[in-house]
Amino acid sequence: MAGCWSSFLDFFRGDPSRKQFKRANAFYSQYKASDKKDLKALNNSIANYELALNNRRKTKDGLPHPDLGITLITYASVLWERYTITHSQSDVLKVIELDEEAYALWESDPASRPPDYPVLLLDLGNAYCNQYKVNPALHDMLGKAIIMFDKLKEVGTETDKQTGLIKLGDALYTWCYDDLAQSQDEKEEKLDRSIAILEKAIEGGRIGRKEGASDSSIPYETARQGLLTLAMAYNLRFQNRKLRADLDEAIKYNKLVLKHMRNDDTNTPYSLFDLAEKLFVKYEYEQGRRATGRSTDGAWLSIDLKADKGVNELRGAEGALTQVLQWREIDDAKHAELKSESTKLLDTVRTHITNLSRTASRASSSTNLNASDNGAEHV
């Protein structure tokens, strides 16, 4: 209603912002129609949003325009589009400035919040996270992101709330690696909270239950990130506490994220490698050995191997690593480390498989020999 009334007033007042905003939208539509290749149209769109914003901050009667908030977040979202292309620091700082202005406007007057309010919380939280990832010294940015995502999980549609939960869980997990002067107990508290929140989001959003896609309306990238972060969070907790239950959960969610990933997702081989590492660690535990990584120590391979322990884990790791090395892009230079590490781990896994087979053969021979001896005594 505010938008209609604003347009009505524009007609009589000759407000130039109306035409400028309309022109900005037209240029942005032109940019999208070009398959997002017409950067001139994108820049023209941004320039016109800037003009419209300047005129809407104060109208002729000295009051903010009724559509000021919508103008701010629309301008910010289009500017973010350019940032994803240019990675200009000035663009992302401007995005944060615009979104913060809209946030302050609606936070002070909840009744004025439009349906796009959850979008603002998500966009502002993402922008804060982006700044932190670019420069981890900006600790306050991560804290601000957590505030935005914490608010998002309480507003809007169920999809908005589930997205807020996933983003909040991911941000809390990220904080576990922050260099802030916090105790190990504080980090573990954040890790526990991250796991609880992500599990709630995944269960509530029914994520990962269909092969290749989510049957929720949560965007694919967000759903995948939730599953991936949960697998990593359980793995981190396993590293901290050495509880087998955490390792099992890490493997479970690693498999679930692989089931959820699209065929063309370039993160798939990396997730396969992560799964192989976890399966090998579980094999070590099944053997009653310490989880020492990829040890090929002679004593490891020749003394007291249990032929029936960890075979499935080893075979699973072998299969995952084979898929990695068969990936069509594995020979690209940017994946050289993945190829090298996968080759090393696969060699180790196969060495253990071979030695387990020998152990099984020796056990079988011993059993047969004992049976023969017992038979001779019986006769």
Res. 366 pLDDT band, cuts 50 70 90: very low
- Asked, for residue 170, whether it belongs to a domain, the answer is yes
- Asked, for residue 289, whether it belongs to a domain, the answer is yes
* Residue pointed to by tokens 């002729």: 60
Count the alpha carbons within 13 Å of 111 in the hemisphere toward its beta carbon.
1
Tokens of 119: 């979008």
| Whole-angstrom distance, CA of residue 173 vs CA of residue 277 | 20
Domain final residue, candidates 62, 93, 114: 114
| 46-69 confidence digits (pLDDT tens) | 999 999 999 998 777 767 788 999
Are 220 and 291 part of one and the same domain? no
| Whole-angstrom distance, CA of residue 109 vs CA of residue 113 | 7
Are 209 and 296 part of one and the same domain? no
| 145-154 confidence digits (pLDDT tens) | 999 999 999 9
- Asked, for residue 120, whether it belongs to a domain, the answer is no
Are 91 and 164 part of one and the same domain? no
Are 282 and 344 part of one and the same domain? yes
**Segments forming the whole domain that contains residue 332:** 267-360
Helix then strand then coil, % of the chain, to nearest 5: 75, 0, 25
Phi, psi of 213 (to 5 degrees): -165, 160
- Asked, for residue 374, whether it belongs to a domain, the answer is no
**Backbone φ/ψ region at 310: left (φ over 0), alpha (ψ -120 to 50), beta:** left
- How many domains are contained in the chain? 3
- Asked, for residue 121, whether it belongs to a domain, the answer is no
Domain final residue, candidates 257, 278, 310: 257
Are 160 and 253 part of one and the same domain? yes
Give the pLDDT confidence score for residue 160 in this predicted structure. Answer: 92
Res. 216 pLDDT band, cuts 50 70 90: low
Are 152 and 248 part of one and the same domain? yes
Are 103 and 153 part of one and the same domain? no
Residue 151 belongs to domain with CATH number: 1.25.40
Whether pLDDT at 189 is above 80: yes
Are 292 and 244 part of one and the same domain? no
Under DSSP, is residue 42 helix (H, G, I), strand (E, B) or coil? helix
| Whole-angstrom distance, CA of residue 336 vs CA of residue 332 | 7
* Residue pointed to by tokens 């796991």: 195
Are 277 and 249 part of one and the same domain? no
Residue type for position 83:
Y
The pTM of the full predicted model, rounded to 2 decimals, is 0.81
- Asked, for residue 158, whether it belongs to a domain, the answer is yes
- Asked, for residue 1, whether it belongs to a domain, the answer is no
Are 136 and 238 part of one and the same domain? yes
Residues in the chain: 379
Q: Per-residue pLDDT averaged across 133-157, rounded?
A: 93
Are 84 and 135 part of one and the same domain? no
User: Between 268-286 and 244-260, two packed helices, what is the crossing angle to 10 degrees?
Assistant: 150
- Asked, for residue 377, whether it belongs to a domain, the answer is no
Sequence-separated (6 or more) residues with CB below 8 Å from residue 364? none
| 302-340 confidence digits (pLDDT tens) | 556 676 788 899 999 999 999 999 999 999 999 999 999
| Whole-angstrom distance, CA of residue 281 vs CA of residue 284 | 5
Are 98 and 199 part of one and the same domain? no
Q: What is the DSSP letter of 133?
A: H
Q: Per-residue pLDDT averaged across 251-275, rounded?
A: 94
Percent of the chain with pLDDT over 70: 81
Give the pLDDT confidence score for residue 303 in this predicted structure. Answer: 55
Domain final residue, candidates 257, 279, 298: 257
Angle in degrees, CA 198, 202, 208, rounded to 5: 135
Sequence-separated (6 or more) residues with CB below 8 Å from residue 70? 3, 114, 116
Selection from 29, 115, 148, 27 nearest residue 140 by Cα? 148
